[in-house]
Amino acid sequence: MGAPGRFITFEGIDGSGKSTQARLLAEHLRAGGSPVVLTREPGGSPGAEEIRKLVLEGDPDKWSAETEILLFTAARRDHLEKTIQPALDAGQTVICDRFADSTRLYQGITRGDLRGLVDQLHSLMIGREPDLTVIIDMDPAKGLARAKGRQGTEERFEDFGLELQQKMRAGFLALAREFPDRCRVIDGDRPMDSVAADVASLLA
């Protein structure tokens, strides 16, 4: 068997430009001849996409933070088994829009300190960290305005508002300090192409 592929994740607050940058990086690598699987969380496999609907739609109080940790981790386990691991084993680069760092923050710090629980379940059921995590840093008010501009039905977390986004931004920057080997912070408040060039340079 050949070398395993690289596992790259994008993290950051809602509207920071993760999906855009994940797509641009995939296009860049494919143009250079690398096979790439572009995927996202929650979701990325048929079963995990079903769980996505359960967690992202409806009343913000629908699930407790503890139940959410179980649901997001269940979705991630399916995604890892069915999509991520097979692609890495086949030597493909996997680019994933959000991964376990989002659970560490959204479920880990927004409603009390549940970070320990998130990490325990992660090591029991996932046990895999990305090779590279690109954290797109963004002013929360601008990120929220961008995210709201999309007008979808997946608003459970966007409805938490600006205060949560501010906590998340600080949390992502703290995660970058906690995991300096795999995390890189990129300023997302610039034209898309400038951000994309910086992201691409991380892999050069």
Which residues of the shown chain bind ligand ADP in the complex (CB under 6 A)?
12, 14-20, 146-147, 149-150, 191-192, 195
Which of ligand TYD, ligand ADP, none lies near 20, with the C-beta cut-off 5 to 8 A by kind? ligand ADP
CB of 103 to ligand ADP, least distance (A): 16
Q: Does 10 bind ligand TYD (CB under 6 A)?
A: no
Closest CA to 94 of 119, 129, 51: 129
Secondary structure of residue 163 in the 3-state scheme: helix
Q: Does 45 bind ligand TYD (CB under 6 A)?
A: no
Q: Does 79 bind ligand TYD (CB under 6 A)?
A: no
CB of 54 to ligand TYD, least distance (A): 12
Neighbours of 150 (CB within 10 A): 12
Stretch that binds ligand TYD, among 21-29, 94-102, 120-128, 195-203 (CB under 6 A): 94-102
Stretch that binds ligand TYD, among 100-108, 127-135, 174-182, 196-204 (CB under 6 A): 100-108
Let me know: does 138 contact 9? Beta carbons within 8 Å: no
Q: In what order do the strands lie in the sheet with 132-137?
A: 36-40, 93-97, 7-11, 132-137, 183-187
Let me know: does 111 contact 65? Beta carbons within 8 Å: yes
